């Protein structure tokens, strides 16, 4: 699916070419969705969805921090206010740590989904079997970990999760050569004598 904003930028001819190129290239043979960023760049929908999940996680952490701050004060007692501030600071620190862990998980998940898109039937099935603590991503969200090393045991024990490798383009087929379909003759015309039935 290409959005109207992308169609406007690309024009009709180029949009048709891009749609044809993306047709059937997604998960399970579905069409790849394309999203345009605010700066005019094009990104795969998986990467966009990962960034959007990170944004939602940040918004939720901010709301929780705001709720923790609302609980401070109100009684006017300095000792109570000091305790409330300490409690709020501890809550905010916990929320910050949890948010950082959530963002790291989202980045790892997105990087793995993009790396597994053409290798697996359903990347989520494989990601659920991987130890995410062993996965590292760089600041740009690209995988730093050797994915093939992590996938090797899974390919041996659960090969059905992976797409088969493409066979050679022109395999060497041995056997009888089929007849030329253009040189078809009536079998009765070949016989030199009378045909006995």
pLDDT, tens digit (0-9, with 9 covering 90-100), for 77-105: 667 777 877 888 888 888 888 888 888 88
Q: Looking at the predicted structure, is the pLDDT value of residue 69 above 80?
A: no
Distance CA 8, CA 10 (A): 6
* Per-residue pLDDT, 56: 78
């Amino acid at each position: 699916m290409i959005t109207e904003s992308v169609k406007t930028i690309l024009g009709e001819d180029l949009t048709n070419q891009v749609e044809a190129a993306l047709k059937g290239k997604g998960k399970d043979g579905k069409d790849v969705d394309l999203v345009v960023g605010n700066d005019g760049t094009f990104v795969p929908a998986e990467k966009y969805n990962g960034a959007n999940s990170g944004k939602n996680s940040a918004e939720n952490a901010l709301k929780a921090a705001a709720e923790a701050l609302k609980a401070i004060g109100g009684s006017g007692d300095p000792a109570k206010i000091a305790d409330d501030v300490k409690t709020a600071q501890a809550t905010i620190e916990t929320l910050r740590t949890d948010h950082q862990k959530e963002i790291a998980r989202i980045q790892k998940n997105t990087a793995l989904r993009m790396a597994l898109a053409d290798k697996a039937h359903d990347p989520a099935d494989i990601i659920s079997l991987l130890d995410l603590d062993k996965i590292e991503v760089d600041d740009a969200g690209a995988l730093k970990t050797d994915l093939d090393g992590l996938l090797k045991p899974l390919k041996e024990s659960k090969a059905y999760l992976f797409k088969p490798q493409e066979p050679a383009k022109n395999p060497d087929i041995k056997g009888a050569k089929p007849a030329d379909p253009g040189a078809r003759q009536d079998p009765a015309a070949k016989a030199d004598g009378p045909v006995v039935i």
